[in-house]
A and B are shown apart, each in its own frame.
Chain A
Amino acid sequence: MRRRSLIKAAALLPFGARVASAAPPAEPVTQALIDAAAKEGKVTYYTAMDLSVAEPMAKAFEAKYGGNIKVSVERTGAERLFNRIAQEAASKIYKVDVVNSSDAAHFLPWKRDGWLAPYMSEAMARDLPPEMVDPDGMYCNQRTHLSAMAYNTKMVAPGDVPKGFLDLLDPKYVGKLVKAHPGYSGTIMTATQQLTRELGWGYLEKLSKQKVLQVQSATEPPKRVEAGERAIAVDGSDYLFWLAKERGSPVEVVLPVEGVPQISNPMGVFKAAPNPNAARLLVSWIMSPEGQQFIVDLSGQYPANRQVKPKKGRPPLSSIKTWREDPAAVEKEADQIKAQYARYFKV
């Protein structure tokens, strides 16, 4: 039964690239694990998640275990995170315990090269849709978000609101756009692969002529639109646009009519983790209904855990015309995407 759902998942989805072996059995959180984790005393969490979410989440985990396990959050864009981990590994430096990337393609080479340790928490086995868990238990999706468009309502007249990507090529938007960069952000790397698959590179070539303000991380366009630096964001993490709107800033989200890039955020434990027990405890907590609820309450991203309901007021994922995510293609095309992008946008 389980086997069959895995095979189905493999055929369908990113994570099940191939089914080589069965997933490891689910491990409950035992007192022994908690003690061992407390003995390690800390866990290093590499993530691309915005700090406004990642740091409070880390603090909530620390509080849950009585402050005995300190989390150090190492946040940067997923592409730079990938570079850092590879560079550290090349120098035989092993600092990362748990990694969470917004570029699912990163987990393919990590798994292939044997860098990840299998771990199946109870919630991963019980509450996650099978297609969100790697068949070998090397990683699972932590949460899903979108790369959305958005605009500052004080800067765009109602009649000028763009409906989708193609609208942005109109000359009236010259100098009004801000966009993040696939060379730094995993969200944007994933989104760019989908965008160029659906609309072709010609689209980005034309867009690059619109005097776009180029920023790095997908977490920055929301901040720029909220600050009123640019009227419209071509892309960016949807949850940050929503959060800005919810705190009363003049920000409105646009889900592009052509389709919305969907981004999963896998998480895994590194085999060479210096704090393997704390790493497992952290993953277990983040994937548990409690951890997932925390992420949803704070940010409204789409939870991976089926026990947790998405945040009220956000459009349900099923109602959105999302583009298909294809990590294998992202892995293959990443270098070419970065080079081509740099050719058009000059940086």
Chain B
Amino acid sequence: MRLDLSRAVLVGVVILLVAIVVLPVGWLFIYAFADKQGHPTLGNFVTLFTDPSFVDPLVNTLILSFSVSAICCLIAAPLGWLAARTDMPLSRTLRILVMASLVTPPFVGAVAWEMLAAPNSGLLNQLWRDLTGAEDPLFDIYTMEGLIFVMACYTFPYVFILVANALDRMPGELEDASSMLGARTWQTAIRITVPLALPVLLAGALVAFLQALNQFGAPAILAIPAGFHTLTTKIWSLFQFPPKSELASAASLPLLLLTVALLRLQAAALGRRGYAVLGGKYGAPRVIRLGALRIPAAMLAMLVLALPLFLPYAALINTAFSPIASQFVTPATATLKNLRFTFLELSSTMPALKNTFILALAASTLGGLLALLIAYIVARQAVVGHRVLAFLATAPLAIPGIVLGVGLFLSYAQTLYGTLWILLIAFITIELPAAYQQLGSAFRTIHPELEEAGRMLGATRLRTLWDITAPLLSTAAVATWCFIFVAVIRELSAAAVLFTSETKVVSVLIFDLKESGDVGAIAVLSLAMITVTAIVIVLANRLGGARLPTRV
């Protein structure tokens, strides 16, 4: 099967992917192994690994990632099971709320948790002291534990979704057989359900580990006041002027390699899932009756969701309307000062909103189209060499945002830096793997016979695509568009390296405001950002009947 113009399209897409994926990573390697004059050297690594100010962040990051991963599994697995396999009330609401925590940018969550749990001025700690008369705070967010907690809050949705989806799909027959043979409910759970779900849980643990490893947002907010660096904040600080590009690149490589290794592990773990779904169709999974535990289970689930959602949003709203962030707002003290400041005085607000909107729109449209094209070529094996495309489109998964930012800067400092284009490239590259995987799996559900029938009846390839494939794909396409849009709005790590004064986006503006502690404006901007996100999701749902993608 050959595409019309297939060779040209393939070459074009490969060149594009080389420019946005291979080049940045290539420059990273070159810089990492060269000294300032460009001579090959291992000196950068020697400098890094003998300097405690680099080794400490490495250790911190590992502690952080292990802890976040473990906590996410401990929380998300039971929660996912409750949502997927039991008759717990509100399980649909639970899933929507989990998506809402996924959509909340971690740096916004981190700022909100500062408002809640800064040791003295935090609202929760104030309440705690008032209620108990205690001297010590209930919870100090400016600690390693505090950062682990916040990161877990915004990472557990990934694990939850993996687990819940797997449990949704898990055949009920095995469990039925188990109980028919006389096993009790809990025996069935331990002997059948848990082993079947284990590979997915392992994959979830790795996803959480990766998220924690590569995250910049929450550490950027909390690590400095807590008095330590993580790998990502360290790379960022190395990139301040004069940018120590060699050191920043060298520091990026361990992160890159670790990520690649973990992704391989994850693929292996998920690959094993195959044995559970051999042959034929299965009945719907059994629903476990919780009986008297129904209500407590739902309450527990809502309590968990209070941590990433209800409490932080309450804190943001409180701060937005309060003269001082550490005061509980009352009708008497409520003020529009922060709103007025953010929208009328702060001269960066409108340009940042505009830039964010343009970039989100462009990245979701162009990135979606690119992913669609690649997914089509790969799914239909339309040209020789399609595997290269699949590899290149998935490769950015292995590149942490901040590392990609550094790589893009090294590649395009003299050309695209200072324009929105470099940010657009960064955002498309970051979101390409997820978009591609999602559309790829959508293509796999459409049998090529449908297209072939169209072709046999005399329609051109384009006409077939338009009349047959496009309608079948529209739901997935809208979902992908929506996914990229939301992801771009919350992206900080690459943007923090690539922005200039005229190409600031909202996430960077919030990051800048954090530097001077202007929490009132941060609260207003965060709420504005979330509102826009919510509107987009609702609209996309209405228009395309799409659900937010649940793939990570």
Which chain B residues border A294 with CB–CB below 8 Å? none
Specify the chain B residue showing the minimal Cβ separation from A46: B501
B50 lies within 8 A of chain A by Cβ:
no
Within 8 A of A (CB), among B316-358: 324-326, 341, 345-348, 351
B241 lies within 8 A of chain A by Cβ:
yes
A72 lies within 8 A of chain B by Cβ:
yes
A227 touches B326 (CB 8 A): yes
A84 touches B515 (CB 8 A): no
Q: Give Cα distance in the complex from A86 to B229, angstroms.
A: 24
A303 lies within 8 A of chain B by Cβ:
no
B225 lies within 8 A of chain A by Cβ:
yes
Specify the chain B residue showing the minimal Cβ separation from A82: B241
Q: Give Cα distance in the complex from A56 to B341, angstroms.
A: 10
Instruction: Return B50 CB to nearest CB of chain A, in Å.
Output: 14
B56 touches A217 (CB 8 A): no
A101 lies within 8 A of chain B by Cβ:
no
Contact of B121 among A86, A215, A227, A346 (CB under 8 A): A227
Q: Give Cα distance in the complex from A201 to B341, angstroms.
A: 40
Q: Give Cα distance in the complex from A122 to B79, angstroms.
A: 70
B121 touches A229 (CB 8 A): yes
Q: How many residues in A have their beta carbons less than 8 Å from beta carbons of B?
A: 55
A44 lies within 8 A of chain B by Cβ:
yes
Which chain B residues border A258 with CB–CB below 8 Å? none
Instruction: Return B475 CB to nearest CB of chain A, in Å.
Output: 42
B120 lies within 8 A of chain A by Cβ:
yes
Instruction: Return A56 CB to nearest CB of chain B, in Å.
Output: 7
B362 lies within 8 A of chain A by Cβ:
no
Which chain A residues border B227 with CB–CB below 8 Å? 214, 345-347
B285 lies within 8 A of chain A by Cβ:
no
A86 touches B242 (CB 8 A): yes
Say whether, besides A82-B241, A83-B240, A86-B241, A214 and B225 are in contact (CB < 8 Å): yes
Specify the chain A residue showing the minimal Cβ separation from B237: A183
B241 touches A83 (CB 8 A): yes
Which chain A residues border B516 with CB–CB below 8 Å? 50-51, 75-77, 216-217, 219-220
Which chain B residues border A84 with CB–CB below 8 Å? 241, 500-501
A224 touches B517 (CB 8 A): yes
| Contact code string B102-130 (vs A, CB < 8 Å = 1, else 0) | 00000000000000001111000000000
| Contact code string A85-123 (vs B, CB < 8 Å = 1, else 0) | 011101111011000000000000000000000000000
Instruction: Return B350 CB to nearest CB of chain A, in Å.
Output: 10
A77 touches B346 (CB 8 A): no
Contact of B240 among A80, A93, A227 (CB under 8 A): A80
Specify the chain A residue showing the minimal Cβ separation from B229: A347
Q: Give Cα distance in the complex from A204 to B119, angstroms.
A: 24
Instruction: Return A230 CB to nearest CB of chain B, in Å.
Output: 7
Specify the chain A residue showing the minimal Cβ separation from B518: A51
Q: Give Cα distance in the complex from A140 to B20, angstroms.
A: 45
Specify the chain B residue showing the minimal Cβ separation from A218: B516
B501 touches A44 (CB 8 A): yes
B515 touches A72 (CB 8 A): no
Query: Taking each of B351, B513, B518, B519, which has the highest tally of chain A beta carbons within 10 Å of its own beta carbon?
Result: B518
B324 touches A76 (CB 8 A): no
| Contact code string B48-76 (vs A, CB < 8 Å = 1, else 0) | 00000100100000000000000000000
Q: Give Cα distance in the complex from A220 to B325, angstroms.
A: 13
Instruction: Return A344 CB to nearest CB of chain B, in Å.
Output: 11
A285 lies within 8 A of chain B by Cβ:
no
A71 lies within 8 A of chain B by Cβ:
yes
Instruction: Return B454 CB to nearest CB of chain A, in Å.
Output: 50
B228 lies within 8 A of chain A by Cβ:
yes
Among the 9-residue stretches B25-33, B380-388, B410-418, the one with 4 or more Cβ atoms under 8 Å from chain A is B410-418
B225 touches A184 (CB 8 A): no
Say whether, besides A51-B346, A229-B120, A230-B120, A76 and B515 are in contact (CB < 8 Å): yes
B243 lies within 8 A of chain A by Cβ:
yes
Chain B contact residues, CB within 8 Å of chain A:
53, 56, 118-121, 142, 223-225, 227-229, 237, 240-243, 324-326, 341, 345-348, 351, 413-414, 417-418, 500-502, 512-513, 515-519, 521
What 3 A-B pairs are tightest by C-beta distance, nearest first? A83-B241, A220-B517, A229-B121
Task: Other than A59-B345, A80-B240, A227-B118, give 6 A-B pairs with Cβ distance below 8 A.
Answer: A50-B516, A51-B341, A77-B515, A84-B501, A216-B224, A346-B56
